Amino acid sequence: IDEARKRELRRELRTLLHQLDMTVLLVSHDLRDAQSLADDLLVMAEGHILQSGALSEVVEHPTSPESATMLGYEPLLKGEHHNGTIQEEGVGTLELAPEDERSASTGQVHVFIHPSVLSGVPPNHDLGCGIVGEVVSCYSEGTLQILELRLGADRNSSTRYIPVRWE
């Protein structure tokens, strides 16, 4: 089924389910199905529940790297967290807001970003988060555009591939 028809079917099914005041268990590998139809979301991998709760809470606050990846988040940094900053060698430093309760913790952390909130700013504009990089290329993989990002300011920069869907 083409994408336009899928969107139409999701809208019709959501309307029908509300009209019938019916509870349905939907199993799907397409997060867009859940976002269109579900009130609650349960994320599973290999028969184990990774996370469950209200759709918006689960999507906005994944509780594990595996859950985050399944919800469309992409790894941005993997580094040491000390005194309110996260640093990955060769990539850069990310500062946490002082009021963020996580800013007091220390140790190895993973930082994920959702492509829907990815934004770029020109260099030297103090609008960014402390991660410096450049878009190396952009290429298509079906309905996705893949941004190849080189993070860090030196030749040993780390490369990340972030899928972006234009809808």
For residue 165, pLDDT beyond 70: no
Burial of residue 34, with CB atoms counted within 10 A of its CB: 0-12 exposed, 13-18 middle, 19 or more buried: buried
104-126 residue pLDDT tens: 567 888 888 887 777 666 666 66
What span, in angstroms and rounded, lies between the C-alpha atoms of 97 and 8?
A: 41
52-69 residue pLDDT tens: 999 999 998 999 999 999
3-state secondary structure the chain: CCHHHHHHHHHHHHHHHHHHCCCCCCCCCCHHHHHHHCCEEEEEECCEEEEEEEHHHHHHCCCCHHHHHHCCCEEEEEEEEECCEEEECCCEEEECCCCCHHHHCCEEEEEEECHHHCCCCCCCCCCCCCECEEEEEEEEECCEEEEEEEECCCCCCEEEEEEEECC
66-78 residue pLDDT tens: 999 999 888 888 8
For residue 42, pLDDT beyond 70: yes
Higher pLDDT, 81 or 129: 81
The pLDDT score that the predictor gives to residue 67 is 93
- The percentage of the chain sitting over the pLDDT mark of 70, rounded to a whole number, equals 80
**How confident is the model over 73-88, as a mean pLDDT?**
81
List the beta bridge partners of residue 107: 81
